[in-house]
Amino acid sequence: MEEKLDIIPGRAADLDELAALYDELNDHLAAHTNFPGWIKGIYPIRESAEDGLADNSLFVARIKDKIVGSIILNHRPEEAYNDVTWLSENDYARIFVIHTLTVHPRYQKRGIAEKLLAFAEEEAMQKNIRALRLDVYQHNAPAIALYEKMGYKYVGRVDLGLRETFELDWFKLYERIPEETTVLKKWELADAALYSEIMNNKKVQDNLRDGLPFPYTAADAEAYISSVLAAPEGCQYSWAICVNGKVAGSIGIFRNANIHSRTAEMGYCLGESYWGRGIVTRAVSEACQYVFENTDIVRISAEPFADNTGSCRVLEKAGFKLEGILRKNAVKNGRIIDMKLYALVKE
C-alpha cells in the first residue's frame, strides 16, 4: 500500500531536519554517481532552506512525520538566464524558478520527485504563474530525463559560473508552460466570494454596461447568482468560467423576445489576472456550441465597445462576424462611444 505523501509549506521547525536531509543526500551522492555535482557543506545546506523559508518559497514533502523531499519555488533567476530566448516573456513576477529539488536517498525511486514537480505546476496554476523554469547540470542524465518526461522544454545551455567551486561547466535550461483547463459550470452560491473579487475591479467594470454596484461585495455576488438560479428555464444560459477549478469570470447567453425569440445576446467578463490567455475565446466557443446544440436559438450576437479590442478579438477568434459599427451608441464613463455588432449564426 502506497504511503500518503503531503506537500506543505516549510516551517522554521523543519530546518534541522532539512539540513540533515541535505547532508545525507550529499553523502549518498559522494558514495555513488554524483549526477548533480553537489558538495556537502556547500550546496544544498541549511542556509538554502532558510532562504526559501524567508520568502515563503520553501515546500517540504512529508510521509507521516518524516520529511522525505523538498522544493523551492521563487522568482529569482540566475543572471545567465538572460542569455537565452525563453518560451514565455521574462516577467519573473509571473514565473516560478525551481531550486533545490531534493529527495531523501531512502525514498528515491518512489515517484516523489515527480509529485514535487506536479505540485509545483498546481501551485503555479493556482497563483496565475505562467511558466516554470529551472537549470540542470548537462551530465545529470536522470534529472534531465525526469524534466523532459514531465513536459519541460529545453531552451538553451549556459555557464552559471560554477566551474571553480563545483567543477561544473555547462547547464541546460528548461521551461514548462502549465496547461490550463477552462470549463463552464453552473453557478453556486458558494462562488460568490471569488466572483465578488473579480467584479470589484474598475478595469473589469469599465468594459461592461452600467448598473453594477461598485464596490462589488460578496452580497452583490450572491444576489446575482441567486437571480441566475431563479431565472425561468429557456430564457438564459449562464455559467461561471472556471480556470483550473477556480472561478475566473462569467458568461451568459440571453434569449431575445417577440419576433426575435430564436436569437440571443451574449455577455461575459473575466478577472483581470486572467486576461490575454485565450480563456474567454474558449468559453465563448463552448457556450455557443451548447446553445446551438441544445436549444432552438439560431443566432447569437454581442456588442462590445468599439475600443475594447481584446473583446473584439475574442469574438473574431470564436467565429463571430462583424456586422456593423453602432455609431455613438453608448455613454460610458462620461464618454459617447461607438459599439460593434458581432453575430454568430447556426449553420
Among 101, 171, 85, smallest CA distance to 135 is for 171
* pLDDT(64) > 70: yes
Domain assignments of the chain as residue spans, ordered by start = 5-176, 182-345
Question: How far, in whole angstroms, is CA 214 from its chain's centroid?
Answer: 27
| Cβ(21)–Cβ(104) below 8 Å | yes
User: Checking DSSP bridges between strand 299-302 and strand 263-270, what pairing results, if any?
Assistant: parallel
Provide the pLDDT confidence category of residue 154 given band limits of 50, 70 and 90: very high
- Residue pLDDT, tens place only, 161-181: 999 889 999 999 999 988 667
pLDDT number for residue 340:
93
Q: 65-69, 182-186, 187-191, 230-234 — which is least confidently predicted? A: 182-186
CATH fold of 182-345 = Aminopeptidase (3.40.630)
pLDDT reported for residue 208: 81
Q: Is the pLDDT of residue 332 over 90?
A: no
- Position 246 scores a pLDDT of 83
Amino acid present at 202: K
The pLDDT of residue 212 is 85
pLDDT value at residue 66: 96
Predicted confidence at residue 143, as pLDDT, reads 97
Residue 98 has pLDDT above 90, yes or no: yes
Q: What is the mean pLDDT of residues 178-194?
A: 85
pLDDT average, residue stretch 24-37: 96
**Residue 221, amino acid:** A
Least confident of 26-30, 124-128, 240-244, 328-332: 124-128
At 108-137, the pLDDT tens digits run 999 999 999 999 988 887 777 889 999 999
- Residue 2: per-residue pLDDT: 64
Cα separation of 28 and 26, whole Å? 5
pLDDT of residue 1: 52
Amino acid at 101: L
Tell me which of 111-120, 136-145, 216-225, 306-315 is least confident: 306-315
Distances in Å between the alpha carbon of 79 and those of 15, 33, 112, 122, 138? 27, 28, 29, 26, 18
Per-residue pLDDT, averaged over 139-145, amounts to 96
CB 255 within 8 A of CB 234: yes
Q: For domain 5-176, give the fold.
A: Aminopeptidase (3.40.630)
Average pLDDT on 221-243 reads 91
- The yes-or-no answer to whether 5-176 and 182-345 have a common fold is yes
